[in-house]
């Protein structure tokens, strides 16, 4: 007797080149077996006929300090109904207050880590209240203690290097953050909109595994010069700097993304930058809508799934145990449907692209437990 049997789905895990129609058995929270037909008894059965069964989606950039920051949204409610089983809070807190965020995340079902902001109080809300990121104010002992006590729950250090945040310090905070991250054996996540120097200079500071957020932002210097993705940007990608979408409402340009993707410059990870302001806005920013948008921009379904499963698991720091349907890993599973539907996507510049397909959430499973199920799954089909 297993706990859960997912029947007749298209089991699709590009990270291990798995693409079969079949069944998945879940036992004690783990994926027990995958085969074209399983006949074991089960406490619960889900008929996934006509749906894709993929590893639980990982959104590597969200703001989930619910009630703790102005922009924090509720983690479970905001993400699980959209097929997301794990996420990373993008620097809502720093060394002085991250423990309260961890305490909140302990009450959530979604798996979550946090980026530790280099500013002690975390990332402020926006331009009016930029955080102080002067390295002179950093307390190395507090960073060391945070990583000693909670290193497994910290995905890396976060900072913004926008001109209005760094001022005359320009790229000095980024350089110091990389040195500190080296010392702490962790990665750096950098928000680079309207940077004080070119994007080539920004990425030249980053090491393999460091993450450039908002890769398709269109404020000030971008990853393109004169209509081309520049050579240094290509080289950074080749040496392992991670390029992440972190779409957001203001940090994404459809036209810029379109040109980059046409030149073959696709993201390593697709994430949303979801927060209380865009979580349920009429213009939908959810992970599945963002993935649908990237399909409209020319990426394949396989690519967008890879960006939100195996690639995202590497950024999460669990390259083997998450973002995969391998047996004996936690049964974090998203069941999705692809609907043929004409859908317009827009951005803050008023540019539009029309998509032909939308990915819709059907069932979200974390450690073998069903936390979301669409009524479409229960309907007679
Ligand atoms: Zn963000």
Asked if residue 258 belongs to a domain, the reply is yes
Domain assignment of residue 346, yes or no: no
Distance 193 CA to ligand 1 centre (A): 11
Instruction: Report if residue 343 sits inside a domain.
Output: no
pTM of the model: 0.97
Look up residue 259 and give its two tokens. Answer: 């040109």
105 and 14 in a common domain = no
The reply to whether 176 and 207 lie within a common domain is yes
One domain for residues 182 and 228: yes
Domain check: are 49 and 103 in the same one?
A: no
**Mean pLDDT, residues 19-31 taken together:** 98
Evaluate whether residue 115 is within a structural domain. Answer: yes
Do 164 and 270 lie in one domain? The reply is yes
Closest among 345, 336, 344, 271 to 88, alpha carbons compared? 271
Q: Would strands 228-229 and 224-225 be described as parallel, antiparallel, or unpaired?
A: antiparallel
Q: 352 CA to middle of ligand 1, Å?
A: 23
User: Ligand 1 centroid to 213 CA: how many Å?
Assistant: 8
Structural domain contains residue 202: yes
Question: Is the domain of 151 the same as that of 202?
Answer: yes
Cα of 335 vs centre of ligand 1, distance in Å, is 27
Q: Are residues 49 and 67 in the same domain?
A: no
Per residue in 301-350, pLDDT tens? 999 999 999 999 999 999 999 999 999 999 999 999 999 999 999 999 99
Interval between CA 272 and ligand 1 midpoint (Å): 8
**Domain with 373 in it:** 2-54+328-338+359-378
What tokens appear for 254 in the block?
Answer: 């459809």
201 lies in a domain?
A: yes
Give CA–CA dist 212/80, Å, rounded: 25
The reply to whether 164 falls in a domain is yes
Q: What is the mean pLDDT of residues 217-244?
A: 97
Q: DSSP of 290-319, one letter per residue? A: HHHHHHHTT--HHHHHHHHTHHHHHHHT-T
The pLDDT assigned to 127 comes to 62
What is the whole-number distance in angstroms between the Cα of residue 6 and the centre of ligand 1? 35
pLDDT for 284 equals 75
Residue 251 Cα to ligand 1 midpoint, Å, equals: 9
How far apart, in whole angstroms, are the C-alpha atoms of residue 17 and residue 182? 33
CA dihedral 236, 238, 241, 242 (to 10 degrees): 130
Q: What is the number of structural domains in the chain?
A: 2
> What pLDDT, on the 0 to 100 scale, is given for residue 65?
97
Residue 380 has pLDDT above 90, yes or no: no
| CATH number, domain containing residue 79 | 3.20.20.140
- 264 and 175 in one domain? yes
pLDDT of residue 282: 65
Distance CA 304, CA 14 (A): 10
106 and 37, same structural domain?
no
Same-domain check for residues 68 and 192 = yes
Q: Is the pLDDT of residue 125 over 70?
A: no
Q: How far is the CA of 89 from the centre of ligand 1 (A)?
A: 8
**CATH code for position 35:** 2.30.40.10
Are 219 and 237 contained in the same domain? yes
Same-domain pairing of 38 and 94: no
């Amino acid at each position: 007797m297993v706990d859960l049997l997912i029947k007749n789905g298209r089991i699709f895990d590009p990270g291990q080149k798995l693409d079969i129609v079949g069944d998945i058995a879940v036992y004690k929270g783990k994926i027990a077996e995958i085969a074209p037909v399983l006949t074991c008894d089960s406490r619960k059965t889900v008929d996934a006929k006509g749906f894709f069964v993929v590893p639980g989606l990982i959104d590597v950039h969200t703001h989930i300090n619910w009630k703790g920051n102005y922009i924090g949204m509720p983690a479970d409610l905001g993400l699980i109904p959209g097929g997301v089983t794990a996420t990373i809070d993008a620097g809502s807190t720093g060394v002085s207050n991250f423990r309260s965020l961890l305490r909140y995340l302990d009450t959530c079902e979604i798996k979550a880590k946090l980026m530790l902001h280099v500013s002690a109080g975390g990332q402020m809300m926006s331009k009016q209240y930029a955080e102080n990121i002067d390295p002179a104010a950093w307390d190395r002992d507090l960073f060391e203690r945070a990583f000693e006590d909670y290193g497994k729950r910290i995905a890396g250090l976060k900072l913004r290097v926008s001109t209005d945040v760094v001022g005359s310090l320009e790229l000095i905070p980024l350089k110091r953050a990389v040195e500190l991250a080296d010392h702490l054996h962790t990665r750096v996540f950098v928000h680079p909109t309207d940077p004080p120097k070119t994007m080539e200079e920004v990425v030249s500071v980053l090491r393999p595994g460091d993450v450039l957020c908002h890769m398709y932002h269109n404020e000030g210097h971008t990853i393109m010069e004169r209509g081309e993705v520049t050579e240094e940007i290509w080289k950074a990608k080749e040496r392992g700097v991670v390029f992440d979408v972190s779409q957001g409402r203001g940090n994404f340009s459809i036209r810029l993304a379109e040109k980059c993707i046409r030149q073959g410059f696709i993201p390593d990870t697709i994430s949303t930058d979801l927060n209380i302001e865009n979580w349920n806005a009429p213009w939908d920013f959810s992970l599945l809508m963002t993935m649908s948008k990237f399909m409209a921009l020319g990426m394949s379904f396989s690519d967008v799934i890879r960006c939100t499963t195996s690639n995202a698991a590497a950024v999460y720091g669990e390259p083997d145990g998450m973002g995969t349907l391998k047996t004996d890993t936690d049964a974090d599973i998203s069941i999705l449907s692809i609907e043929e539907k004409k859908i317009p996507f827009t951005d803050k510049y008023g540019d539009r692209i029309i998509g032909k397909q939308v990915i819709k959430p059907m069932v979200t499973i974390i450690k073998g437990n069903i936390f979301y199920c669409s009524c479409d799954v229960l309907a007679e089909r």
